[in-house]
Structure 1
Amino acid sequence: MPAKLSVNLNAIAMLRNRRDLPWPSVTNLGRIALAAGASGLTVHPRPDQRHIRFSDLQPIRALIDGEFPQAEFNIEGFPQEDFLRLVEEHRPDQVTLVPDDPAQATSDHGWDFRKDRELLLRVVGRIKALGLRVSLFADGEPDREALSIAREVGADRIELYTGPYGGCHADPAEAVRLADRLGETAAVALDVGLGVNAGHDLTVANLPMLAARIPHLAEVSIGHGLTADALEYGMAETVRRFRRACGQTV
């Protein structure tokens, strides 16, 4: 089955936040994306609210519940207490935990599963007690011991950090090498009992090769590249383009 597409709304929110105005509407563009066949919406509410604001979460939850009940809401972030309270209040279908420093510009590395085992054990257990799926951000290294720890702490999935793969857009040979490596990592993750998501700097151009290397890829979460394309093609057509790149029939 082709990977599902979750549209990350952060870049839209960042554009809105340049002015003290309600447009572009994060919720309305989310509605267009879901109507065009996106399987879900992703947000990353950072402590400084520099893109997604905490006040965006309830309208997005209401949009999905009221108009697209088959879609999923994915909230990602570092598991500090304020973030966990947002999760408890808005009950996303999936929580993606990332090891970000609150001040960094964007997610750029996966968890150190050995070092962070006890933190993740505690936090994942708290989230799982709510009945929510948990995904952990992971580097693209086929480290069986590390991925086994991710499973042992209770995660359902990992999200492969694909930033380096997306970053070698001008180096086809390196792209192939990294896609092969991500495929190896995904195979190990599946073998230890984890589902596999992927995200970061994925585009219509590089998605097909990644999907070919990870035939059981569950979901891709895409924001920057998708938003950039939406400026050119419109949100609905962009979602269809990305769905086709995932291997979906549109």
Structure 2
Amino acid sequence: MAASLSVNLNAVAMLRNRRDLPWPSVVGLGRVALEAGAGGLTVHPRPDQRHIRFSDVPALRQLIDREFPGREFNIEGYPSEDFLQLVEAARPDQVTLVPDDPSQATSDHGWDLAANGGLLKDICRRLLDGGMRPSLFVDGGIGSDLVAIAKDAGAGRIELYTGPYGGCFNDASAAASWIEKLGATADSAHSLGLGVNIGHDLTVDNLPALMARIPYADEASIGHALTADALLYGMSETVRRFRRALGQQL
């Protein structure tokens, strides 16, 4: 079964926030994406609310609950107490824990699992008690011993940070090397019974090769390239293009 597409709405929210106006509508474009067959929506609310605002979270929760039951809501973020309280109020299907500093422009590395295993175990237990699936953001190329720490922490999935692969758009040899690094880490997770998500700088062009290496991937969270393509093709057609790139039969 092909991976599900989770549409990351951060770039839509960033465009909206350039003006003190309600458009483009995060909820409205989320609805269009779901109508076009997206499997879910992703947001990453940061403390400064520079893109997704805290008020967007309950509005998107309501959209899915009322109009698209069965689709998944994924909230990403660093597990500060404020963030954990936000997700406990929203009860998303999945919480993707990232090691970002609040000042970072975007996620650019995975967890140091060896150093943070205890912290993550406590947080995963809290999320599981709230009925949410924890997913841990990790770098491609980490070995099975580190993936086992994610399993032991209670994560249901890992999300592979695919930024370095996305950055190889003009270097086929480097891209092939990153596909194997990501694939090896995914294989370790899969063998332990962990689900595998992928995300960061994924495009219609680079997805097929990665999916061929990781055919069992559960979900692809895509925002920047999808939003850029939506300016050319519209949101509905862009979602369909990414679904086809993931191997979905439309």
Q: TM-score scaled to structure 1, two decimals? A: 0.99
1:116-156, Cα deviation, whole Å (9 max, x unpaired): 01110111111110111110000001411110000001000
Distance 1:54 1:137 in 2: 22
Aligned to 2:106: 106
Residue 243 (1) aligns with residue 224 (2)? no
- Give 1:191 deviation, angstroms: 1.2
Aligned to 1:204: 204
Residue 180 (1) aligns with residue 188 (2)? no
Distance 2:168 2:195 in 1: 26
Aligned to 1:122: 122
Q: Aligned ranges for residues 107-186 of structure 1 at < 5 Å?
A: 107-186=107-186
User: Match for 2:244: what amino acid?
Assistant: R
- 3-state DSSP class of the match of 2:37? coil
Task: Tell me, yes or no, if the aligned pair for 1:142 and 1:188 is still in contact at 8 Å.
Answer: no
Distance 1:180 1:146 in 2: 17
Aligned to 2:4: 4
Task: Tell me, yes or no, if the aligned pair for 1:142 and 1:186 is still in contact at 8 Å.
Answer: no
- Give 1:103 deviation, angstroms: 0.5
- 3-state DSSP class of the match of 2:55? helix
- Give 1:161 deviation, angstroms: 0.1
Distance 1:149 1:75 in 2: 22
Aligned to 2:16: 16
1:58-112, Cα deviation, whole Å (9 max, x unpaired): 1100000000002100000000000000011000000000000000100000001
Aligned to 2:229: 229
1:189-244, Cα deviation, whole Å (9 max, x unpaired): 11122110000000000000000000100000000000000000000000000000
Q: RMSD value over aligned CA atoms?
A: 0.6
Q: Which runs of 5+ in 1 are unaligned?
A: none
Distance 1:183 1:204 in 2: 19
Aligned to 1:37: 37
Distance 1:184 1:121 in 2: 24
Residue 52 (1) aligns with residue 57 (2)? no
- 3-state DSSP class of the match of 1:159? strand
Moved more, 204-213 or 188-197: 188-197
Q: Which runs of 5+ in 2 are unaligned?
A: none
Distance 2:239 2:115 in 1: 38
Distance 1:215 1:41 in 2: 21
- 3-state DSSP class of the match of 1:41? strand
Q: Figure out how many residues of one structure are paired with residues of the other and give that number.
A: 250
Aligned to 2:217: 217
Aligned to 1:27: 27
User: Match for 2:131: what amino acid?
Assistant: G
Q: Aligned ranges for residues 71-110 of structure 1 at < 5 Å?
A: 71-110=71-110
